[in-house]
């Protein structure tokens, strides 16, 4: 049995237990009206998710296209802020874009809980289906480019940090992308990174477009990136940073070709291991949901007794 099959077996066992023992109690006490929506079959059987975050024009969409080895519906790439919504890139036999409000009510999609963020968010969410081999095992969540300033935060129409926190709990891997020419961490980016608390073990950093600088500059940039992240995250552990350029173009600087290729291989190996780790994550999330149900049930009984 491979890792994907083992993960599916675990997911099916959790699903059967939830539908048989836990969901009837949650329905009886209207858990979904006061807490989080009831879990669906798609929540248990969903493929591992990879959340991509970063400031605008760091190469998030290009990174996904590089792994897919093709374009996907709705992809927009440019030097200015282009991705203005969350986009779930999933496997599908037909290329299409599904609006957020439609994706949230589809029973075969694990996005039912997104309805709690309201129509303002659902209007800024879409699903892009495309036939690519890697998507048979992984789903990518592309996020809007993070800007700076209070104006951008207001224009979103929803609480960006809260949405990021939700995706972080659902994701199996969180990729923070940085541009070798743009290492500053804006206020909103800092707030978004802090919203990942409790999920720092899932984070991997990517220093993208590293071939655009020489070896000496790259060493200084790498050190500056670790220093900046250390001030925000404030943990003794050093985050894993992959250094390369993730696109189909040849490297501009040939000094670190071997390093860039090794870093790419390491990142791909990490992504390939996600189906095995996904089973562990689903068990942990199931336990958290179960504990929340018990806590809610206890409060409900106390109020009735009172």
Q: How far apart are CA 293 and CA 36, in angstroms?
A: 10
For residue 99, give every residue at least 6 positions away whose Cβ sits within 8 Å of its Cβ, in sequence order, or none. Answer: 122, 126
For residues 237, 4, 195, 112, the Cα torsion angle rounded to the nearest 10 degrees is -170
From residue 82, alpha-carbon distances to 6, 61, 96, 99 in Å are: 39, 10, 19, 18
pLDDT tens digit sequence for 276-298 = 777 777 888 778 777 777 776 77
Amino acid 182: pLDDT: 81
Amino acid 306: pLDDT: 47
Question: Of 145, 175, 126, which is closest to residue 84 (Cα–Cα)?
Answer: 145
For residue 131, give every residue at least 6 positions away whose Cβ sits within 8 Å of its Cβ, in sequence order, or none. Answer: 91, 92, 93, 94, 95
Look at the block and give the residue holding tokens 């989080």.
36
Full pLDDT tens readout for the chain, 306 residues: 556 677 778 888 888 888 888 888 878 877 767 666 777 888 888 889 999 999 888 889 999 999 999 999 888 776 555 567 899 999 999 999 999 999 999 988 999 889 889 999 999 999 999 999 999 989 999 998 887 655 555 567 788 888 998 899 889 999 999 998 888 788 888 888 998 988 888 899 999 999 999 999 999 999 999 888 888 887 767 788 999 999 988 999 889 999 999 999 999 999 988 877 777 778 887 787 777 777 767 766 665 554
Q: How far apart are CA 208 and CA 264, in angstroms?
A: 11
Look at the block and give the residue holding tokens 């029973």.
107
Helix ranges restricted to H, 54-149: 60-68, 100-103, 118-122
* Domains of the chain by residue range: 3-294
Please tell me whether residue 203 adopts helix, strand or coil conformation: strand
Q: How far apart are CA 210 and CA 253, in angstroms?
A: 9
Q: What is the DSSP string of 107-131?
A: TTSS-GGGGGGHHHHHTTEEEEEE-
On the CB side of 220, CA atoms within 13 Å amount to 7
Here the tokens at position 251 are: 């490297």
4 neighbors 275 (Cβ within 8 angstroms): yes
Q: How far apart are CA 89 and CA 86, in angstroms?
A: 10
What is the pTM (predicted TM-score) of this model?
A: 0.87
CATH topology of domain 3-294: Rossmann fold (3.40.50)
Q: How far apart are CA 92 and CA 82, in angstroms?
A: 24
Q: Where are the beta strands (DSSP E) in 163-220?
A: 173-179, 203-208
């Amino acid at each position: 049995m491979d890792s994907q099959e083992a993960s599916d077996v675990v997911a099916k066992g959790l699903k059967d237990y939830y539908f048989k023992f836990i969901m009837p109690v949650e329905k009886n006490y209207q858990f979904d009206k006061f807490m989080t929506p009831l879990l669906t079959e798609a929540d248990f059987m969903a493929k591992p998710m990879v959340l991509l975050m970063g400031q605008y024009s760091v190469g998030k969409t290009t990174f996904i296209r590089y792994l897919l080895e093709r374009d996907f519906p709705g992809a927009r790439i440019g030097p200015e802020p282009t991705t203005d919504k969350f986009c779930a890139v999933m496997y599908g036999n037909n290329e299409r874009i599904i609006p957020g409000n439609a994706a949230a009510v589809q029973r075969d999609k694990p996005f039912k809980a997104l309805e709690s963020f309201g129509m303002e968010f659902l209007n800024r969410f879409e699903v892009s289906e495309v036939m690519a081999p890697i998507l048979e095992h992984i789903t990518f969540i592309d996020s809007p480019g993070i800007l700076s300033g209070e104006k951008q935060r207001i224009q979103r129409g929803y609480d960006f940090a809260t949405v990021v926190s939700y995706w972080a709990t659902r994701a199996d891997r969180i990729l923070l992308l940085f541009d070798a020419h743009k290492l500053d961490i804006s206020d909103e980016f800092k707030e978004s990174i802090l919203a990942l608390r409790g999920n720092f073990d899932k984070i991997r950093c990517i220093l993208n477009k590293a071939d655009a600088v020489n070896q000496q500059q790259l060493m200084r940039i790498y050190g500056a990136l670790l220093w900046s992240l250390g001030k925000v995250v404030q943990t003794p552990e050093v985050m894993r940073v992959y250094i390369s350029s993730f696109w189909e173009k040849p490297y501009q600087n040939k000094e670190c070709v071997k390093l860039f290729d090794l870093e790419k291989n390491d990142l791909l190996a990490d992504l390939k291991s996600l189906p095995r780790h996904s089973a562990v994550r689903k068990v942990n999330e199931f336990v958290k949901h179960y504990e929340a149900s018990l806590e809610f049930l206890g409060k409900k009984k106390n109020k009735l007794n009172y």
